[in-house]
Amino acid sequence: MSRLRLRRAPRRTAERLAARPVRALAATAAATVLALTASGCVTVHGETALLPAVTKDEAAQALADFTAAYNRADKAHDPALDAGRVTGPLGAINQAGLRSRAVTSPGGNPNHQPLELTDARFVVPRKAGWPRWFVADADSNRDVDQGRADQRWLLVFVRNGPEQLWEVAHLVVVSPEVVPEFAEEEGYAVPVAADSDAVAVAPEDLGAQYVACLQDGKPGPYAAGPHTSLWREERQKGAKRPGLATQYIDRVADQGDFAPLGLRTKDGGAFVFFATRYFERQTAAQGYRPKVGPDVKALLTGTVKNTVTKEWVSNQVVLVKPAGTDRDGVTIAGRLQGVVGAVGS
C-alpha cells in the first residue's frame, strides 16, 4: 500500500484547524481498510502480496500464443513474427537463428512442419511483484518427426508487468525422467530465491561456477557429464588442429530476462534455469582463413582475414541438491545453445 507523506507545515492556528479534516479522513480510511481486511474483501497490491503467477487457463493461452507465433516465424523465416513472444537466452538464440535463415533461405522455410506442444503441465509459483513466471512442461511432435525417444520441452514464461505479453525466456529439451517432483505450498510451486542458502549453490552463483568449471577444469560443485567434464575434453581436443587454433572464453549471463529462475524440489533441492555466453575464437595459420559456414556467415560482421569469433548463448537447466552436499551438488539436466553473432578479423 502506498504511503501518503505530509510535509510539516508552520504551526499556525488556521492550518492546524485545516488539518483536522485530513486526520479524520485518514482515520476513516484506516478503519475501512481494517474492516475490509477482516471481511476478506480487500484488493492487495501485486507488489507486496504473494500471488500465483498465472491461472492455468492463462498459462494454456500463453503456450498457444507462443506456439502460433513460433510457427509463423519459422515458416516465413521472419524474426519479427515471434519477437514479442521470446526473450532472454531463448530470444537471443531464436532471433539470431531466424535472421540467419532469412539470408540463407530468403523465400521462407520449404521444410516447415508446424510445432505442436501437447500434454502440457504447468508449474506455477507464487511470488510478490514483478517479474512473474511459470514453467510449461509439454510434449512435442519433434520427437516423432526426428525419430528420437520421447522428450519434454520445458519452457519458462516470464512477464515483467501487467501490460506485457508472456514471453519464453528459457527453453530446454529433456528426458521425462529428468523432470523432478516439485515442492508445493497451498497447491503452488515454491520459487527459490537467487541468493538462497538452502541449496548447495545459490541460483545467482550457478553461472560463475559453471564458467569456472569450463575455463579452469575445476569441477567445483558440478558433477561430471556431457555438459561439463566431457564438453571441456572435447574443447581441448579441438583446440589445436593443423593450421587452426581454437580458444574459448566463457561469460556469465544473468541480467534482466537472462536471470536464473529456480523452483524448490520435494527433496529439498532446486531445479534452476540459467544462461551463459561463450566466445569461440578460431585463428588460422598465416596465409589461411578459417572456414565459415553459411549459417554463421549470415550473422557475420567484419572481414575474415585469419580469425573468426563466434558468440554463443547457452541455456541450461540443473538439478541442485540441498545445502550441505559435499560433492556433485549440481547436475546439468539439459542444455540448449545457439550462435547469436560472429565477427571476422
| pTM, two decimal places | 0.85
What is the structure's pLDDT at 196? Answer: 97
pLDDT block averages, 10 residues each, the chain of length 345:
35 40 37 32 56 97 98 98 98 98 96 96 95 97 70 97 96 96 97 97 98 92 96 92 94 98 98 98 93 97 96 98 93 98 97
265: three-class secondary structure by DSSP? strand
Report residue 215 as a C-alpha cell. Answer: 575455463
From 132, 135, 131, select the one nearest 156 (Cα to Cα): 135
Q: Report the C-alpha dihedral over residues 279, 202, 53, 49, rounded to 10 degrees.
A: -140
DSSP 316: E
User: How far is residue 79's CA from residue 97's CA, in Å, rounded to a whole number?
Assistant: 8
What is the structure's pLDDT at 326? Answer: 82
pLDDT in tens, 248-287: 999 999 999 999 999 999 999 999 999 999 999 999 999 8
Residue 182 zone, left/alpha/beta (φ > 0; ψ -120 to 50; rest): beta
What is the structure's pLDDT at 143? Answer: 79
What is the structure's pLDDT at 144? Answer: 65
What is the structure's pLDDT at 12? Answer: 39
